[in-house]
Structure 1
Amino acid sequence: MDQFERLNQLPLRDDLRGLRPYGAPQLDVPILLNVNENTFGVPLDAKEAILKAVADELDGLNRYPDREFTELRRALAAYLGHGLNEDNMWAANGSNEVLQQLLQAFGGPGRSLMSFPPTYSMYPLLASGTGTGYIEGFRDEDYNLSAESAAEQVRSKSPNIVFLCSPNNPTGTALGLDIVEAVYEAGEASRTIVIVDEAYAEFAHSGTRSALLLLPNRPRLIVSRTMSKAFAMAGARVGYLAAAPEITDAVRLVRLPYHLSAITQATAVAALRNSDALLANVEAIKVQRDRIVNELIRMGLAPAPSDSNFVFFGGLEDPAGVWEALLAAGILIRDVGIAGHLRVTAGTEAETTAFLQALEAILDGVH
């Protein structure tokens, strides 16, 4: 009997029986381009500031941290701007915990969450973990989502919560604000909470507008962000949201006490105070992302327009075979389980060159 079978011998909740934990492959290869990390790492000056901030907390580790993480909320509001203040902000251990807390507050048994696959694969798992029903919306054949279609689906299903991922993962394309507005209005009768997951917002093309612009006078609208991607802090686990103050009060009802450690708070505040240094590599990543798009088109493949730090591309007859061949070449990208498609993170110039050269050699070998 293997470990998975032993798990299912336990008296699990019925809706968890047979499920497997979420997770991308974690393999030890030279070039890791599979989970949309910022491969540039933390710059030296920001690293030194974080180390000092953490060291300053060490003498007080015998005490609980600031339960309200007030300094961090102020720093997050200052970073986002848009007239936000500390009362509009909330943070947790990665944006996944932010979304989980929102589902604990507004979802649960007898309530429902809608999202529009293909999108972030954690959404149905978060629904399952909180006992929230999951409604699978749909997109067009080209994976785009129109305001009219999204609004009609929300009106017809009346979900309690809607997740809109923008830029979308795994396709990488940002949503127009008309879609967010249409979904919000469509959920008026059902008082639907609308959560716009902007984990990759800093990588969007110039002129792409954030849903932060729509927050005033929309108490059911929430914008979720993360410091994992643009800030190169995936290991620190810091996610946050911006919303009306009553939303943060709702989340306080379900959060665990002292859920953000003093070390996490100090790290995040120091990073935000050094945001210019930490975000300096964002433009370099965008250059490599656009380079990948252009080169894939030249190779005869079909990349989706990307506002994120990754590229979703189709036109592959054997994506699993290409994935395996790249892995054999020491390059790990992501098979997201969509026919004919793979996804690759935009890394450094050297990592991007290695990926493109290996992929072209593989395709030439196939042909």
Structure 2
Amino acid sequence: MSTTDSQSSPEALAALPLRENLRGLSPYGAPQLDVPVTLNTNENTHPVPDEVVRAITASVAESAVSLNRYPDREFTELRQRLAEYLGHGLSGSQLWAANGSNEILQQLLQAFGGPGRTVMGFPPTYSMYPLLAAGTDTRYQAGVRGEDFSLTAESAAAQVAEHRPNLVLLCSPNNPTGTALGLDVVEAVYRASEDHQGMVIVDEAYAEFALSGTRSALSLLPGRPRLVVTRTMSKAFALAGARLGYLAAAPEVTDALRLVRLPYHLSAVSQATANAALQHYDVLLETVEDIKRQRDRIVDGLLELGLEPAVSDSNFVFFGGLEDAQQTWQALLERGVLVRDVGIAHHLRVTAGTQAETTAFLDALRAVRTGT
């Protein structure tokens, strides 16, 4: 069953007094199909190490004793552990967490967007951005990229100066293309936002998978009170099921989010899980290097097949050169491999999984390409 399967008829939904800007929209969701090799949602397909499972289990069990009480509203221990993990001289007062990075982005739009305000993104990029904008009644302004899906500092800054959005979303590494932005783009966009005091959000969900030498926007935070860097524990930490996202920013940004967050929004169980995981982040991140090796295997394999992979700083590879992307997607599915059709002609996206999963994908794609 797909995550977008409706439980009612379109007519029944249309009969409700739904907000006008939500009419006709489709909910976010990748297909959830029962196939041997699932490489369509950029999960870390390595299982959580036993050592970490035991630590999380013990931590959650300890928290269960006091589940009759509300959790620490300020998730103080978690914010401090996140600051220590990120480094860059950050303090706990500069960290904020929520139920996945999507909720982080939603809270930012609730605080700084809303009716009469605009958020700018640069498609193709994360498909949740316009949905989050619609959900907070913020107008979404779609910027443009180059024909090769790149985004230069000059182009991005010029577009921001022209449209003067209240918020700018920069996805780096970008999803679905996988390539990181140079920090010159972030700096240029921030400068272009100065006149109208716009917020600049750099979505670094895949930062831990970046190629050597790729710098994080965390290094740009000092002296930039309107810059926000968002992260997640879903990808590199292999904790997609835990739903824990976070951000780093100036303390006044976290104060703004306190105005819109729901009371006790981060449960005691979520805090216990994340705190235990962060005490073993070195163990959890051991899979990152293997994933990067599999990503590079995919790139090499795609080149051998005459296809066109983009430079990837992430745990997935976006590739073009397909005559019919939908047909290739279906042929791979019939061979037991699920990848992502992101709706861009001649392109597909595949998650770098385990060595066995990567081999299965490359073998299946080779069979599709050669007709065997």
Aligned residue identity for 1:4 = P
Residue 339 of structure 1: aligned partner: 345
Aligned identity (percent) is: 70
Residue 69 of structure 1: aligned partner: 75
Count of paired positions: 366
How far did 1:2 drift?
5.7
Residue 93 of structure 1: aligned partner: 99
Equivalent residue of 1:60, what SS? coil
Equivalent residue of 1:281, what SS? helix
Q: For the residues of structure 2 that align with 1:119 and 1:175, how far apart are their CA atoms?
A: 12
How far did 1:3 drift?
1.8
- 1:16-68 CA-partner distances (Å, limit 9, x unpaired): 11111110001111111000000002011111111110010111000000000
Equivalent residue of 1:24, what SS? coil
Q: For the residues of structure 1 that align with 2:89 and 2:70, how far apart are their CA atoms?
A: 31
Residue 60 of structure 1 pairs with residue 63 of structure 2: no
- 1:73-99 CA-partner distances (Å, limit 9, x unpaired): 000000000000110000000000000
How far did 1:5 drift?
2.4
Which of 212, 217, 231 pairs up with 1:211?
A: 217
Residue 225 of structure 1 pairs with residue 231 of structure 2: yes
Which of 153, 156, 161 pairs up with 2:167?
A: 161
Residue 234 of structure 1 pairs with residue 240 of structure 2: yes
How far did 1:206 drift?
1.1
Which of 188, 195, 200 pairs up with 1:189?
A: 195
Equivalent residue of 1:28, what SS? coil
Which of 254, 261, 284 pairs up with 1:248?
A: 254
How far did 1:340 drift?
0.3
Which of 354, 359, 368 pairs up with 1:353?
A: 359
Q: For the residues of structure 2 that align with 1:58 and 1:347, how far apart are their CA atoms?
A: 34
Q: For the residues of structure 2 that align with 1:248 and 1:53, how far apart are their CA atoms?
A: 26
Q: For the residues of structure 1 that align with 2:313 and 2:264, how far apart are their CA atoms?
A: 35
Residue 368 of structure 2: aligned partner: 362
Equivalent residue of 1:162, what SS? strand
Q: For the residues of structure 2 that align with 1:240 and 1:43, how far apart are their CA atoms?
A: 22
Residue 263 of structure 2: aligned partner: 257
TM-score by length of 1: 0.99
Q: For the residues of structure 1 that align with 2:161 and 2:277, how far apart are their CA atoms?
A: 41
Q: For the residues of structure 2 that align with 1:71 and 1:150, how far apart are their CA atoms?
A: 38
- 1:87-140 CA-partner distances (Å, limit 9, x unpaired): 000000000000000000000000000000000000000000000001000000
How far did 1:170 drift?
0.1
Residue 126 of structure 1: aligned partner: 132
Q: For the residues of structure 1 that align with 2:104 and 2:47, how far apart are their CA atoms?
A: 24
Q: For the residues of structure 1 that align with 2:217 and 2:28, how far apart are their CA atoms?
A: 28
Residue 34 of structure 2: aligned partner: 28
Q: For the residues of structure 2 that align with 1:74 and 1:363, how far apart are their CA atoms?
A: 50
* Structure 1 spans left out of the alignment, 5+ residues: none
* Structure 2 spans left out of the alignment, 5+ residues: 1-6
Which of 192, 195, 204 pairs up with 1:198?
A: 204
Q: For the residues of structure 2 that align with 1:193 and 1:110, how far apart are their CA atoms?
A: 15
Q: For the residues of structure 2 that align with 1:205 and 1:22, how far apart are their CA atoms?
A: 29
Which of 107, 112, 115 pairs up with 2:118?
A: 112
| Matching of residues 308-323 of structure 1 within 5 Å | 308-323=314-329
- 1:243-267 CA-partner distances (Å, limit 9, x unpaired): 0000000000000000000000000
- 1:158-217 CA-partner distances (Å, limit 9, x unpaired): 000000000000000000000000000000001010000000000001110000000000
Q: For the residues of structure 2 that align with 1:247 and 1:16, how far apart are their CA atoms?
A: 28
Q: For the residues of structure 2 that align with 1:115 and 1:61, how far apart are their CA atoms?
A: 40
Q: For the residues of structure 1 that align with 2:151 and 2:16, how far apart are their CA atoms?
A: 41
Q: For the residues of structure 2 that align with 1:245 and 1:202, how far apart are their CA atoms?
A: 24
Equivalent residue of 2:169, what SS? strand
Aligned residue identity for 1:108 = G
